[in-house]
Amino acid sequence: MPDFQGKRGLVLGVANRRSIAWAIAQRLAAGGAELAFTYQGERIEKNVRDLAESVSSPLVTELDVRSDEEIERVFREVGETFDGGLDLLVHSVAFADARDLEGRFTDTPRDRFWMALDVSAYSLVACARAAEPLMEAGGGGSILTMTYLGGERAVPHYNVMGVAKATLDASVRYLASDLGKKDIRINAVSAGPVRTLAARSIAGFPTMEAIVEERSPLGRNIDAEDVGAAAAFLLSDDAKNVTGTTFYVDSGYHAMGM
């Protein structure tokens, strides 16, 4: 297991114990990292606070990633909590209106198109910008985000979220170019279907699982713990020369043509 002793991290996107972000956080905490968490709205606040308490988190705070003022406040709180530094940032945030995850992508209205891209892609840019001075103060850092094959290929019902993931993927590359000069790395994990709260909103999700099991080279689905293990590697010093990369955890499904 990678060593995160002395590392300070911020985790965005935990909703409950089945969240991919929580699987990643558990790996980081087990390696010795001190973690802060954000939550979105009162509905999941208690879940996040309870989970954060289980890893002795020093900070749990609300964050709406569509607000620059909120992002500025949260990273100010993080800096105050972690003595002006930050080593790790986990961005596991995405959203699209459920109406746009069924039917035709062509019918996506303008306002909901931009909402999906704002929450799912621009939020990474905004958070990376806010994290930059904190990571620079500590001599560097590592950022990780979550993507999906639907950003590269048309996946039934993924629709506008696929366009948002394509934007996210490109953002990772450009952020890697900008931030590498300060020894700040950024990578993405492209996971296969995982049963999370967010997955419930995707029409035909069980079909996605069945196809991966049938057609992937390894012939099986993955779980959140698999993603957590891969994420821990990318965030750790073991991956000190890895940046701008998409790391697939999908039993090899992405490599197949049919």
Query: How many whole angstroms separate alpha carbon 102 and alpha carbon 175?
Result: 31
The residue from 148, 174, 248, 253 that is catalytic is 148
Active site residue 248: no
93 burial type by CB count under 10 A (0-12 exposed, 13-18 middle, 19+ buried): buried
Active site residue 158: yes
Q: What angle do CA 207, 166, 253 make, to 5 degrees?
A: 40
Query: How many whole angstroms separate alpha carbon 191 and alpha carbon 202?
Result: 15
Would you say 124 and 178 are in contact if contact means Cβ atoms under 8 Å apart?
A: no
- Nearest Cα residue to 122 out of 102, 154, 95: 95
- Nearest Cα residue to 52 out of 17, 94, 92, 5: 17
Q: Quick one: three-class SS letters along 62-118?
A: ECCCCCHHHHHHHHHHHHHHCCCCCCEEEECCCCCCHHHHCCCHHHCCHHHHHHHHH
Would you say 223 and 250 are in contact if contact means Cβ atoms under 8 Å apart?
A: no
Find residue 59's DSSP bridge partners: 36
The residue from 39, 122, 158, 253 that is catalytic is 158
- Catalytic residue positions, numbered: 148, 158
